[in-house]
Amino acid sequence: MAFSNLEGLYRQVIMDHYKDPRNKGLPTDESYHHVHLKNPSCGDDITVAIKLEGDTIEDIRHEGVGCSICCSSASVMCEELCGKDIVLARRVTHNFYEIVKGSEIDETIDMGDAIAYSGVSNFPARIKCATIPWKALETGLEELGK
């Protein structure tokens, strides 16, 4: 019973981010680095724009089309990673990959709404949907030499 209530709550969190996405829309500001990734198996097509200030992620924006899992995950990622230093952002990202696989996570890290994606592990085909915005961010950090 408790489990299904939790599932319902998680679904609400995901739908809230899908219907009212945070940080949506790409900036024209040239200080942002853009990464475009596609997930052909689902049709997700997303661009993430990253702005760093030293070793801190000052801002992340996103734009694209995709399923509710992908689009909401981009919104959650922005909310969780903006303002974090890159080392912590990477730890949160890796923890998120464990969450969607249903693996053990580092519970000392505050995951915020990202914890709502634990149910994705029941649908392995959707794991890529959830992770693609986060992969785009990781790619961007690598391209920026971070």
Q: Rule CB under 5 A: choose which of 129, 130, 137, 141 binds Zn ion.
A: 129
The answer to whether residues 112 and 20 touch, using CB atoms and an 8 Å cutoff, is no
Least CB distance to Zn ion at residue 72 (A) = 10
Block residue for tokens 């509710």: 68
Q: How far apart are alpha carbons 96 and 109 in whole angstroms?
A: 10
Q: Which two tokens stand for residue 35?
A: 């990464």
The partner residues of 46 in beta bridges, in order of sequence, read 37, 64
Q: How far apart are alpha carbons 79 and 23 in whole angstroms?
A: 8
* Residue whose CB is less far from Zn ion, 70 or 77: 70
* Residue whose CB is less far from Zn ion, 67 or 109: 67
Site string for Zn ion, 59-78 (x = CB under 5 A): --------x--x--------
The three-class DSSP label of residue 134 is: helix
Q: How many chain residues are in contact with Zn ion, going by CB under 5 A?
A: 5
Binding of Zn ion by 44 (CB under 5 A): yes
Binding of Zn ion by 136 (CB under 5 A): no
Stretch that binds Zn ion, among 25-33, 73-81, 95-103, 124-132 (CB under 5 A): 124-132
* Residue whose CB is less far from Zn ion, 70 or 82: 70
Binding of Zn ion by 127 (CB under 5 A): no
Q: What does the buried/exposed string (b/e) look like for 41-54 if buried means 16 or more CB atoms within 10 Å of the residue's CB?
A: ebebbbbbbbbbee
Binding interface with Zn ion (CB under 5 A): 42, 44, 67, 70, 129
